[in-house]
Amino acid sequence: MDSEDRQRRPDAGDMTDETQRFRHRYVPGSSGHHRTLLLLHGTGGDENDLIALGQILEPDAALLSPRGQVLERGMPRFFRRFAEGVFDIEDLRYRTNELADFIDAASKKYGFSTSTLFIAGYSNGANIGASLLLLRPGSVAGAALFHPVVPLVPDTLPDLTGIPVFIGAGRNDPYASPDQTTELAQLLRQGGADVQTFWHDAGHALTGDEVREAQAWLSRLPNPGRVP
C-alpha cells in the first residue's frame, strides 16, 4: 500500500457524517417491512448496479448500495488486488473495517437495524461481504454471496453461530473456482454459520436460477421486524 494511497484516505475527523465516505444509494423499504439489503457490486459496478437485483430478491426490503472506494484501471472495486485472485490483504482488512464503520453510520442515519441487514454481493462485492462476516460479523445478520472466493483466513475464526449464508456458484466459473467456493463454505460452517450452496453449470455471470434460489432462501428466513 503506497503513501499516496494512504494520503487519499480521509481520517476519522475529516467528516462528521461517516456515510459520506462512500458514494451510495439508500432506498427505503415498504412500511412494516424491516429487512435491509446491503448491495455490494462486482468490479466495474457502482451504487446503481445491483438495485434491480435487490428489488427482485426482496421487493419490500430497504436497499443500501455503496460504491467501492478503489479504482482498478478506472473500474470501482471494494479492495485492491495485485493480480487476478491475488488480494492485497492489508488493504482488504482496511476496506472491510471502513465498510463496517459505514454500515454502522448508515444504520443510525437511515434508521435500520444491523440485526436485520443482509448482504447481497456479487463477485468482488461477495468477497468483501465474506470478509465482513469473517472480520466484522456483528455488522450484518446474514448474506447472499454470488460467486465468492475465500477473501482471507482470519487469525481467529469468529463465532458465526446461526448466521444464514446463501452461496451461488458456477461449476465452470473461471474466476471463482469450485474449490475456492467450497473452501469458503467450509470456513463459514466451521464458525457455525448455516450455509446453503446452490451450484449451476454456468460460469461467472449471475443466472436466473441462482437468483430465484436466493430469493426463495431469503423468503424462508424470519423477519423479526415485520409487522403482522
Each residue's pLDDT tens digit, 171-189? 999 999 999 999 999 999 9
Would you call 49 a catalytic residue per the annotation? no
Catalytic: which of 123, 131, 139, 147? 123
> What is the residue whose three cell numbers read 490483504?
89
Would you call 177 a catalytic residue per the annotation? no
Catalytic: which of 101, 194, 200, 204? 204
User: What CATH number is given to the structural domain containing 211?
Assistant: 3.40.50.1820
In this prediction the pTM is 0.90
| Mean local confidence (pLDDT), 144-169 | 96
Residue 1 falls inside a structural domain? no
Residues 6+ apart with CB under 8 A from 189: 195
Residue 226 falls inside a structural domain? no
**Distance of alpha carbon 113 from alpha carbon 116, whole angstroms:** 6
**Distance from CA of residue 168 to its chain's centroid?**
13
pLDDT class for 87, splitting at 50, 70, 90? very high
User: Does position 227 have pLDDT exceeding 70, yes or no?
Assistant: no
Residues 6+ apart with CB under 8 A from 84: 175
Residue 6 falls inside a structural domain? no
- For residue 223, the tally of other CB atoms under 10 A from its CB is 17
Residue 227 falls inside a structural domain? no
**Distance of alpha carbon 48 from alpha carbon 213, whole angstroms:** 23
Residue 7 falls inside a structural domain? no
What is the tally of structural domains in the chain? Answer: 1
**Distance of alpha carbon 168 from alpha carbon 206, whole angstroms:** 8
107 or 14, higher pLDDT? 107
Residue 3 falls inside a structural domain? no
> What's the angle, vertex CA 218, arms to CA 168 and CA 213, rounded to 5?
40
9 or 35, higher pLDDT? 35
Residue 4 falls inside a structural domain? no
Residues 6+ apart with CB under 8 A from 35: 29, 58, 60, 61, 62, 116, 117, 118, 223, 225, 226
Category of 32 on φ-ψ map: left (φ > 0), alpha (ψ -120 to 50) or beta: left
**Distance of alpha carbon 99 from alpha carbon 88, whole angstroms:** 16
10-69 pLDDT per residue, tens: 333 344 577 788 999 999 998 666 899 999 999 999 999 999 999 999 999 999 999 999
Would you call 139 a catalytic residue per the annotation? no
In the chain, % helix, strand, coil (3-state, to 5) comes to 40, 20, 40
| Mean local confidence (pLDDT), 72-95 | 94
User: Does position 208 have pLDDT exceeding 70, yes or no?
Assistant: yes
**Distance from CA of residue 15 to its chain's centroid?**
24
How does DSSP classify residue 147? S
User: Does position 228 have pLDDT exceeding 60, yes or no?
Assistant: no
Nearest to residue 191, comparing CAs of 171, 161, 212?
161
Residue 161 falls inside a structural domain? yes
Q: Which residues constitute the domain of residue 86?
A: 16-220
